[in-house]
Every structure is written in structure tokens, then in C-alpha cells.
Amino acid sequence: MNRIVFATGNEGKMKEIRMILDLPDYEIVSMKDAGVHVEIEENGSTFEENALIKAKAVWKETGGIVLADDSGLEVDYMDKKPGVFSARFLGEDTSYDIKNQYIIDQLADAAEEQRTARFVCVIACVMPDGSTYTTRGTIEGVIAHEISGQNGFGYDPIFYVPEYGCTTAELSPEQKNEISHRGKALRDMKKKLMM
């Protein structure tokens, strides 16, 4: 069976990735499953640069097909922060409860139309021959007034999707994968892998 190594140790993310990619001919494994333990410094200034940095670092260890993602939340009222620093925002070990409340507090004086935000996800792929490409997906929404929902992870409990009338943490995993930034970017990547 062919193997795809996904450059993450996040089990929540791996579950989503396996559900969305759904490639019967491939075993999709995490870095941990592949026995890769490299320190990767994400020092790119764009989601594309960071995703490629991760994919190339793992590919050097494993060869084969490696995928990586870089994703984050852009809040317009905060000059598109946290952006590429979403995972490390307010410090790497800061809980998302604190990060989410901080963002809500930052928008305390924002008018409703100023609460716009988006999730961005870029998937990078390194093929066995070392060639690379990326796909990008986004989902538009607004920052909620309070933390809400138990599904998902990260900033999902404060990302409100008006068409669904709830946060992405209140959607079922199937609904979320259908509309999410990661779902869109992964489905585009799946098309490329099946070419």
C-alpha cells in the first residue's frame, strides 16, 4: 500500500485529514506514526511558505509523498492577526480558551460589520521526486461574541458562520469538513494526487 506522511502530530487534525482525503489506495500516517521527530522552525511569512517548510523537512526524513498544512485565523479588525502565527499566538503553550477569549476581548468595540474573519488553509505536497505544489482553501465568517461549541479544535468555538447560524465548533464533523478551509484545500490536493 502507498503511504502518505502528513507533517503533523495533531490527532484531531489527522482524523479530519483521513476523513476528507479518503484515499483507499493510501495509508495516511502522522509524523509520529512514521517515526519522524524533527524540530521544524516555521519562519515563513505566508501560509504557503510555512506549509512547504514543514513538508520538505519531513520529506528529507521519509521520502515518498509528504503533505503538510499551515492554517490560521485572519481577523480583519486585528490587521489579519493572528494569521501565520495562529498556533503560536500569545505563546505556544497558551490554551485556546485564553486565545479565543483574548480575540473576543480585542473586538469588544468592533461594530458587527467589522467582525469579519476567515480561516485559511494551505496544503503543501512534496512528491517522491522532490517536486512540490500547494493548494489553498478559505472559509469566511465572523468572530462570535462568546465561545460556543464542543466540536472541532483551536479557534473553532469563536468562528461563527452566518449561513449555518453557529460556530464551526457547533457543526458536525461531516458538515465542518464539507465547508471548512482545510476541507477545500484537501479536496483540491486529492484531485492533484489522483491525476
Indicate which residues carry an active-site annotation: 70
What's the residue count for the chain? 195
Q: What sign has the CA pseudo-torsion 159, 155, 113, 106?
A: positive
Q: Which helix (H) or strand (E) segment is 2 a member of? A: strand 2-6
Closest CA to 115 of 76, 157, 81: 76
Instruction: Name the DSSP class of 24.
Output: T
How far is Cα 177 from Cα 16, in angstroms, rounded to an integer? 7
Q: What angle do CA 195, 31, 6 make, to 5 degrees?
A: 25
3 state DSSP class of 99: helix
List the beta bridge partners of residue 134.
Answer: 124
CA 32, chain centre distance (Å): 18
